[in-house]
Amino acid sequence: MPDYLDDLRLAHVLADAADAATTDRFKALDLKVETKPDMTPVSEADKAAEELIRGHLGRARPRDAILGEEYGVEGTGPRRWVIDPIDGTKNYVRGVPVWATLISLMEAGEGGFQPVVGVVSAPALGRRWWAAQGHGAFSGRSLTKASRLQVSQVSKLSDASFAYSSLSGWEEQGRLDGFLDLTREVWRTRAYGDFWPYMMVAEGAIDMCAEPELSLWDMAATAIVVTEAGGTFTGLDARPGPHSGNAAASNGLLHDELLGYLNQRY
C-alpha cells in the first residue's frame, strides 16, 4: 500500500506557501472582495493562494489533476489534489481569525475518488492539522513537532458537545425540527463554523458536528483527518466520505443518533 508520506510533506510545503500569502493580506484595508455568481464572497487572497498552490503542484506533480474552488478542474487521471484556498472567506474578509487553507490528495478507487492525504492550516489561529491514509492524524507546528489526534469516547448524547455553522441551511432543507431536537438532547452546542468543528472532533474536544450544504473542497481534507483520528465522516445520507454535498462527523459512537435526528427519524 502506498505510504503517501512524500505527498503529505508536499502538502505541508503548499500550506506554508499559502499561509504566507493569506496572512499577509489578512485585515488589509485595501483587500479586494468580489461576489461570485452563487452570492458568496471571494477575495484577492483566495485567488492568489490557489494560484500559488497550483503553480507549486504544476512543478512538483505535473501528472496529477487539480480541483480548486476558484479555478475548477485542471487535468485528469487517478490522482487529484483538491484545494480550498480559504475556507471561511466571510470570516477572513471581516477580520475573524477562523479560516484555513484546505489541501487534500484524492485517489481513484472503489466508490470513486477518496481522500488519502489532508492538511488543514489555520495560520491566524496558529494551528495546523493533517493526516495520511494509514498513518493517523496529527496536529502541531510541523511534521516533527506534532501530537497524535484521537476522537473522544463520549457515548451518550446527554454528555455530548455538538457544533454547527448556522441555522438557516437546516431550515431551508426542512431539517430544522430534527436539528433543534438534537440540540435539546445534547450537553452543549456551539456554532464554531467551517473547518474548525471537524478538527475539534478529531482532537476529541467536541463529539460531533454537521453541516447541511458543502462542496467537495470543503470536506476532502477534513474527512481524512477525522477518520484517521478514529472518527466517522459521512454525508447526512450515511454515505462514507466527502461526496454527499453535506457532512456529519462524530467520534463514531454517536453517529447513528446524530444522523437519526438530522434526518428526523427520532
- CB atoms near residue 75 (< 10 Å): 16
**Cβ pair 163, 136 in contact under 8 A:** no
For residue 246, give the nearest of 234, 230, 255, 263 by alpha carbon.
Answer: 234
Any known ligand binding at 181? no
Dist CA 47 CA 66 (whole Å): 14
For residue 86, give the nearest of 130, 40, 132, 131 by alpha carbon.
Answer: 40
Any known ligand binding at 87? yes
State the residue for C-alpha cell 484545494.
83
Any known ligand binding at 110? no
- Looking at residue 83, its amino acid is I
Any known ligand binding at 86? yes
Q: What is the 3-state secondary structure (H, E, C) of 102-166?
A: EEEEEEEECCEEEEEEEEEEECCCCEEEEEECCCEEEEEEECCEEEECCCCCCCCHHHCEEECCC
- Looking at residue 91, its amino acid is N
For residue 122, give the nearest of 138, 104, 99 by alpha carbon.
Answer: 99
| Binding residue positions for Mg(2+) | 69, 84, 86-87, 218
Q: Which residue positions form the known binding site?
A: 69, 84, 86-87, 218
